[in-house]
Structure 1
Amino acid sequence: MRATGFLSFYDRFATAPMLVLITREEHVSLDNAVQLVTVYVLLYALGQPVWGLLSDRLGRLRVLRLALVGALVGSAASVAAPGFAALLAARAVTGLFVGSLFPSMLTIVGDSYDGAARAREISSLQTFTALGTTVATLAAGALAVWWDWRVVFAVTAVGAAVFLVLLRRVRLPDGGGTRRDIRSAFTAWPLWTYGLGVLEGAILLGILTYIVPALERDGVSTELAGVLGATYGVGIIGGACLAKRTVARVGRTVMIAIGSATLFVAFLLASLSQSVVPLTVTAVLIGTSNAFLHSSLQGWATDVAPTARATTVSVFVCSAFLGSAAATGVTAGLTRHGYGPVFAATCVATVMLAVLAVGSHAAWSRRRTG
């Protein structure tokens, strides 16, 4: 399960480091090459609610196997693509199917664990997704230069094939005897978590996009800026190890508060100075916040509508993606004269997120136990 999480984030972040090389070999402009990432992320996000509905209707393992088959076919087609148009179509298909993998893992964790054990498993899963992100960020470009960019996509195809074989031995209680009520995923509390997902995705994932460009604006080379930006993954890994030890002692509401406070400090540092050290520390702290805040909100999404867990988790993930896209779209024009004002505004938004998330989760917990 954790290795599947690794594979999904490896494939999601593997294309961007190879874009310049692909432009040369496929004889397309960089603007066209960027579409490889755009269509992938678009299909990745839009497919989330569909996969959730299918998982609640058909069962977890069926959807997981279907997603791995699609990832295998899409990645193999990416390797064999005879031209850029075919590659673009193959990456779109791959994004659609890979998009099901991580929500499926979260749903299975929600079905299989409760309380602090669930939080620890989500943290472990996050550790492996962070490793996938880091490996893709650091190694995909190197593999493409040393061998061929097609090798990077072949890794996903091989991984999907291996996991399909391993899944033949796996048995899950795919909802036998469990009542499914898809409508419960669209009641008041789930809708509230989706709204928080949009806001958190905007802050944590959307504004994170500006760390590497801000480093480059400060005079750091593109290669070094990418390495320093990848310390975000180091923050997730370290934060996940710390979160696993903390959650049983303090509970999810306090975890959300810790993650929000960490995120506030991260963007406060970035707003005060956009030089190498503050921005690198910011990247690490955003990763640490991800391990506390994002994993806690994801855990809440697995709890808030148990009879439609897969649908709820998938819509929450989609909400975070939509928030990320909205944040970059709204703030892109504000960065022409520097990134400080954007980071400062994000500090204010983080305070709002903290008040809303901590307060509402505390209220939900009281209502649930009461």
Structure 2
Amino acid sequence: MTASPASPAPGAYPTRLIVILGLAGFASAFTMRATDPVVPILADVFGQTVGTVALLSTAYGITYAIGQPILGPIGDALGKARMISIATAALAVALALSVFAPNFESLVGLRILTGLVAGGIIPLSLAAIGDRVELATRPIALGRFISAVILGQMVGGASAGVIAEQFGWQAVFGSASVVAAIAAVLVGLKLRPRQGVVRQWPNRAGIAQSYRAVLSNPRALVLYGCVALEGASMFGGFPYIADFLISHGGGGPTEAGLLIGGFGVGGIVFSVIVGILIRRLGPAALIRIGGIGMAMMLAVLVIPKPWFIDIVTLMVCGCLFYFMHNMFQTQATELAPTARGLAVSLFAAAFFVGNAMGPVLFGLTHAAFGYPVAFLASGIGLLVLAVVAPRVLPNK
């Protein structure tokens, strides 16, 4: 069990830390949505249905979530910096192995491994920021870090379709592996553990104490439930965007990648204006505006129109998503300061359970009622959050 984290200096804003963690976050996010635009290509290559290949996102998300209750306590005990460095190196290896997957079953297995090791990067980075940045400036610090994560998602998603069509699906995983390897080297050289904190291998008593610290906070389960619904509602349809465009005569993997990249551009816009938003609106208003706005954008998405207009639709949606998600993240870092790694890891687990279940629920709804109803159903989930979350979570 670790000692209680030292309080960061008032007004501290460790730019160097944010940059280093951002490199690791970029690498992790680069692969997160990389398979979504190439689902139709993988379906043709491996002789699977689009719905089956879309479950690659579920495989990634489930193990990302399952690993969190283990990775969080280990990060708290051994040090978040050390765990982030190890996880980034392991991610590079898992992605390199994916290049040589001989069949779909092997690719599923490697996607499971990739999700597991990637789960040791972003959640522990968020917790590390919570350790070193005071609450007053933490939303801005988290926003800056998340901008690197968003950029990774944007570049990974936008480039995957083009890379797959030009060089083959293996090149998607190969390029992601190179990105992760570069990040692993830089993080290993530059990320330093905090001084003055006693570290030891986690034991049963220490882990139990950490879980009590987190789950004794009555806000914890409420927050985790909210972020799971957010993940399912917003990202359930992402693996189907390429097929949605094809079915409407609006393009294919390349265009789907550009749409997903547009979502990331919106997130970058949020990271630039987050300070102004926090000062002028506050958490409750941001959650409401984000949920209502995302629901409206999903409704706009299903209206027939040229595909390139939907790049703007998803850009707006991406910005509004972080209105809500950044507020949830900030609250997760304050659930249990003495077990912050576990608290944020469980938050990430809940989010990725939602990410994993979303494509399943979206696929069932699409199969029964079609794409418009499936996207509108996702919007309803976001509307529920917009109404309920500000009432059940604290406003500061």
- The aligned counterpart of 2:144 is 124
Distance in structure 1 (CA, Å) of the matches to 2:347 and 2:83: 18
| Equivalent in 307, 316, 326 of residue 357 of structure 2 | 326
TM-score (norm 1): 0.84
Partner of 1:353: 385
Alignment match, 1:164: 184
For each residue in 1:76-116, what CA deviation from the matched residue of structure 2 results, as whole angstroms up to 9, or x when unmatched?
32345566665544333222111221112211111121234
User: Of 345, 348, 356, which residue of structure 2 is paired with 1:314?
Assistant: 345
Question: Given the alignment, which residue of 182, 196, 204 partners 2:211?
Answer: 182
Contact 2:214 2:336 in 1 (8 A): yes
| Secondary structure, aligned partner of 2:46 | coil
| Counterparts in 2 of 1:29 and 1:207: CA distance versus 1, 3 Å | closer
Residues of 1 paired with 2:369 and 2:230: CA distance? Answer: 25
Shift in Å, 1:213: 4.4
Moved more, 145-154 or 9-18: 145-154
8 Å CA contact 1:229–1:283 kept in 2: the answer is: yes
Distance 1:262 1:174 in 2: 44
Instruction: Determine if the alignment matches structure 1 residue 219 to structure 2 residue 237.
Output: no
**Counterpart of 1:138?**
158
RMSD: 3.1
Structure 2 residue aligned with 1:243, among 270, 274, 277?
Answer: 274
Q: Residue in 1 aligned with 2:371?
A: 339
Offset, 1:186: 1.6
Highest relative contact order (Cα 8 Å, sep 6+), 1 or 2? 2
Q: Which residue of 1 aligns with 2:319?
A: 288
SS in 1 for 2:192: coil
Does the CA-based 8 Å contact 2:54-2:359 persist in structure 1? no
TM-score when normalising by structure 2: 0.79
Whichever residue aligns with residue 183 of structure 1, its letter is: R
Match of 2:120 among 89, 100, 103: 100
**In structure 2, what is the Cα distance between the partners aligned to 1:257 and 1:175?**
41
Partners of 1:49 and 1:67 in 2: how far apart? 15
- Secondary structure of the residue that 2:236 maps to in structure 1? helix
Higher mean C-alpha deviation, range 351-360 or range 297-306: 351-360
2:48 to 30, 42, 46: 30
Residue 197 of structure 1: aligned partner: 227
On the 8 A contact 2:163/2:172 being kept in 1, the answer is: yes
SS of equivalent to 1:171: coil
Change (3 A) 1:218 1:116: farther
- Worse overlay, 41-50 or 167-176: 167-176
Contact kept, 8 Å, 1:215 with 1:275, in 2: the verdict is no
CA drift of 1:249 comes to: 3.8
Q: 1:265 to 1:174 in 2, by over 3 A?
A: farther
CA distance in 2, matches of 1:194, 1:175: 31
Distance 1:21 1:200, change over 3 A: closer
CA displacement, residues 124-177 of structure 1 (integer Å, 9 cap, x when unaligned): 222222222222222223334444544433334333333333333432327816
Once the two structures are superposed, the pairs formed by residues 273-284 of structure 1 within 5 Å of their partners are: 273-276=303-306, 279-284=310-315
Give 1:293's aligned amino acid: M
Question: In structure 2, what residue type is equivalent to 1:306?
Answer: P
Structure 1 stretch displaced more, 49-58 or 223-232: 223-232
Question: Relative to structure 1, is the Cα distance of residues 172 and 85 closer, same or farther in structure 2, using a 3 angstrom cutoff?
Answer: same
2:283 to 235, 252, 259: 252
Q: Is the 8 A contact 1:215 1:276 kept in 2?
A: no
Kindly report which structure 2 residues correspond to 1:54-133, keeping only aligned pairs within 5 A, or say none. 54-80=74-100, 87-133=107-153
The amino acid that maps onto 1:131 is L
Q: For 1:61-89, what per-residue CA distance to the aligned partner results, in whole angstroms no more than 9, with x for missing partners?
A: 22112212321322232345566665544
For the structure 1 residues 345 and 34, does the alpha-carbon distance in structure 2 shift closer, same or farther, using more than 3 Å as the test?
closer
2:194 aligned residue = 173
Distance 2:364 2:168 in 1: 36
Question: Cα–Cα, structure 1 residues 247 and 69, in superposed 2: closer, same or farther, change >3 Å?
Answer: same
Q: Does the C-alpha gap of structure 1 residues 38 and 362 become closer, same or farther in structure 2, counting only changes over 3 Å? A: closer
Structure-2 change in CA distance of 1:299 and 1:280 (3 Å): same
1:45 corresponds to 2:65: yes
The total of aligned residue pairs comes to 361
Deviations 1:302-358 (A, max 9, x none): 112212211111111221222233343334333244333344444443332122211
Inter-CA distance 83–267: structure 2 relative to 1 (3 Å threshold): closer
Q: Tell me, in whole angstroms, the C-alpha distance in 1 between the residues paired with 2:42 and 2:292.
A: 40
- C-alpha distance 196-78 of structure 1, shift in aligned 2 (>3 A): same
Aligned to 1:368: none
For structure 1, the residue ranges without an aligned partner over 5 or more in a row are 366-370
Distance 1:329-1:189 versus aligned 2 partners, 3 A rule = same
Judged with a 3 Å threshold, the aligned counterparts in structure 2 of structure 1 residues 66 and 255 are, in CA distance, closer, same or farther, namely: same
